[in-house]
């Protein structure tokens, strides 16, 4: 096969590219320049695409003896990922930019360009398994990235390859060290690549400005604090609420109302939801017949819980949770899995959370 290896400059994609070469594929390395101000990203910071990262990727491509290019998709990334991220927060929702990037950039803009150039697939260092067209969790549960790939359609998955799904992160680092790659010990990337300092609230404040509003306690109906921008909150959040209540019980964000800028907080019991309504789903394989039972994961680093999925009537899904959950934030994806303890849980599809009650 002729494939594009998407090389971030990190250890995962270095090893993914190496395994593709060693499997006999005709591999071309591509680093994506995604940040509009890549020169400003400090070297050493783990942004998605600092100049330093591009050099790291190039060194691995040179060691592999494969052609290497930098594709500038910064404008597409800005429109489809960064602006979507800002708009979602402005609307009181909590987006997942990695999922959006997979949907709109890596397995859309990049895959389209690759296919137009005659390549068959895009190989990445994602930790997930893809065999026979079925997307499954990685064997390394702690590193599993199937959640952020759950949005991909069968057509997109047909043009993807994830060589790392059958191995642990530790094994990936060993393979990189055996091959003498300097990136073998490079730290894992964290958080959001276009916010390298990790200060999401600061990033949003620069974009959206001060938007003061009240924090209201659902238990008493009283205003218990003020905030500088509702975008600084996520449903389910407990820390950093900056409030004083009359009792000692912890409070959690229950809801965010963007027009009045009201952040509502409540007790742990009030924060629990038993049912989730979603927007239109996407399916990773043939659309399953509704209703069905499955497991649902409601955020990138959450555990999956048993659920029953039915039609909500408006094209969206109604997901009844087997046990009540806290911190189900509108805008996050509800990724549905078919539990399979032997072969690894299979992704069925996903839908964005609209409402949880
Ligand atoms: N700037 C980029 N250029 C090319 N490919 C990229 C870029 N950013 C991410 N990717 C691809 O997407 C995959 C998953 O991205 P993610 O940001 O989760 O990286 P990661 O798990 O830290 O992997 P790595 O160690 O390769 O950076 C990477 O392994 C790589 O194949």
Question: Which 3 state secondary structure label does DSSP give 319?
Answer: strand
Are 123 and 230 in the same domain? no
Question: Which 3 state secondary structure label does DSSP give 5?
Answer: strand
Cα 32 to Cα 264: distance, rounded to the nearest angstrom: 40
Of the pLDDT bands very low, low, confident and very high (cuts 50, 70, 90), residue 342 is: confident
Question: Which 3 state secondary structure label does DSSP give 7?
Answer: coil
Are 32 and 99 in the same domain? yes
Asked if the structure places residue 194 within a domain, the reply is no
7 lines ligand 1 (CB under 6 A): yes
Top mutation candidate among 4, 9, 12 for ligand 1, by most atoms within 8 Å of CB: 12
pLDDT of residue 125: 98
Work out which ligand 1 atom sits closest to the CA atom of 13: 26
Are 329 and 226 in the same domain? no
332 lines ligand 1 (CB under 6 A): no
Q: DSSP label at 109?
A: I
Per-residue pLDDT of 16-74, as tens digits, reads 999 999 999 999 999 999 987 654 444 444 455 578 999 999 999 999 999 999 999 99
Mean per-residue pLDDT of the chain: 94
User: Is ipTM over 0.95?
Assistant: yes
Active site residue 193: yes
- What average pLDDT does range 225-229 have in this prediction? 96
Q: For the chain, how many structural domains are there in total? A: 3
Asked if the structure places residue 284 within a domain, the reply is yes
**pTM exceeds 0.80 for this model:** yes
H helix runs in 118-163, sequence order: 146-149, 154-158
Per-residue pLDDT of 254-304, as tens digits, reads 999 999 999 999 999 999 999 999 999 999 999 999 999 999 999 998 899
CATH code for position 157: 3.40.50.620
Domain that holds residue 236: 210-266
CA of 13 to the centre of ligand 1 (A): 6
Helix (H) or strand (E) holding 200: helix 200-208
136 lines ligand 1 (CB under 6 A): no
Active site residue 101: yes
- Which residues, other chains included, contact 173 with Cβ-Cβ below 8 Å and sequence gap of 6+? 11, 184, 185
């Amino acid at each position: 096969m002729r494939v594009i290896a998407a090389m971030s400059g990190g250890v995962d994609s270095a090893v993914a590219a190496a395994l593709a070469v060693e499997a006999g594929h005709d591999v071309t390395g591509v680093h994506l320049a995604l940040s509009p101000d890549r020169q400003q990203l400090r070297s050493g910071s783990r942004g998605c695409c600092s100049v330093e990262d591009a050099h790291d990727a190039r060194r691995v491509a040179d060691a592999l003896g494969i052609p290497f290019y930098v594709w500038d998709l910064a404008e597409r990334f800005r429109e489809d990922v960064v602006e979507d991220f800002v708009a979602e927060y402005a609307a009181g929702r909590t987006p997942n930019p990695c999922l959006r990037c997979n949907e709109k950039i890596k397995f859309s803009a990049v895959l389209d360009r690759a296919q137009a150039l005659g390549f068959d697939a895009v190989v990445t260092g994602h930790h997930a398994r893809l065999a026979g067209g079925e997307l499954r969790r990685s064997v390394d549960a702690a590193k599993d990235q199937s959640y952020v790939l759950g949005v991909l359609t069968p057509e997109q998955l047909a043009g993807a390859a994830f060589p790392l799904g059958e191995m642990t992160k530790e094994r990936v680092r060993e393979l990189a060290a055996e091959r003498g790659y300097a990136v073998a010990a490079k730290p894992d990337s964290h958080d959001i690549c276009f916010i390298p300092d990790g200060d999401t609230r600061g990033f949003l404040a620069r974009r959206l400005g001060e938007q003061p509003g009240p924090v209201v306690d659902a238990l008493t109906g009283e205003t218990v604090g003020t905030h500088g921008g509702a975008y600084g909150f996520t449903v389910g959040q407990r820390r950093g609420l900056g409030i004083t209540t009359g009792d000692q019980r912890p409070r959690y964000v229950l809801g965010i109302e963007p027009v009045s800028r009201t952040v509502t907080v409540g007790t742990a019991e009030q924060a629990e939801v038993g049912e989730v309504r979603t927007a239109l789903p996407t399916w990773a394989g043939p659309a399953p017949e509704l209703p069905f039972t499955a497991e649902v994961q409601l955020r990138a680093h959450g555990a999956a819980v048993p659920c029953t999925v039915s039609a909500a009537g408006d094209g969206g899904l109604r997901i009844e949770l087997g046990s009540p959950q806290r911190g189900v934030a509108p805008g996050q994806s509800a990724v549905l899995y078919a539990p399979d303890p032997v072969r690894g849980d299979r992704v069925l599809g996903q839908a964005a959370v609209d409402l949880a009650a």
